[in-house]
């Protein structure tokens, strides 16, 4: 294979991974900002002497937090579990299989 092509492919994969990480960080930032706003609004709507710690004040934080956790796992776990070059190795493996199984 042409080394220029391989480098271009690696660059595209790296750019794709950086885009995923950036998307996760954007998601996390929006999560933090919105939940701070919700906390402020909820505190302003409390009756005098009422405690903030009611389940309904944490529903958004909790369920959106589960979604954020899933997003983070989808971005970071594949690299940690399978290694950096797993995708490249798998692509090469499938390319070799298809090359060897051609009808000629």
Its sign, for the CA torsion 5, 9, 15, 18, is negative
Whether the per-residue pLDDT at 102 is higher than 70: the answer is no
Answer yes or no: is pLDDT of 20 > 90.
yes
Measured distance CA(75)–CA(78) in Å, rounded: 7
Burial of 80 (0-12, 13-18, 19+ CB in 10 A): exposed
- pTM, rounded to two decimals: 0.71
Higher pLDDT, 65 or 15: 65
Token pair for 58 = 């944490």
Here the contacts of 40-44 (C-beta below 8 Å, separation 24 or greater) are none
């Amino acid at each position: 294979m042409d080394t220029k092509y391989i480098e271009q492919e690696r660059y595209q994969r790296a750019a794709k991974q950086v885009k995923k990480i950036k998307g996760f960080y954007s998601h996390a930032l929006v999560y933090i900002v919105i939940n701070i706003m919700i906390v402020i609004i909820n505190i302003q709507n409390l009756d005098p002497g009422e405690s903030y710690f009611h389940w309904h004040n944490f529903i958004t934080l909790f369920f959106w937090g589960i979604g954020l956790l899933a997003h983070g796992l989808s971005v970071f776990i594949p690299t940690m579990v399978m290694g950096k070059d797993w995708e490249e190795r798998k692509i090469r493996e499938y390319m070799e299989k298809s090359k060897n199984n051609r009808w000629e």
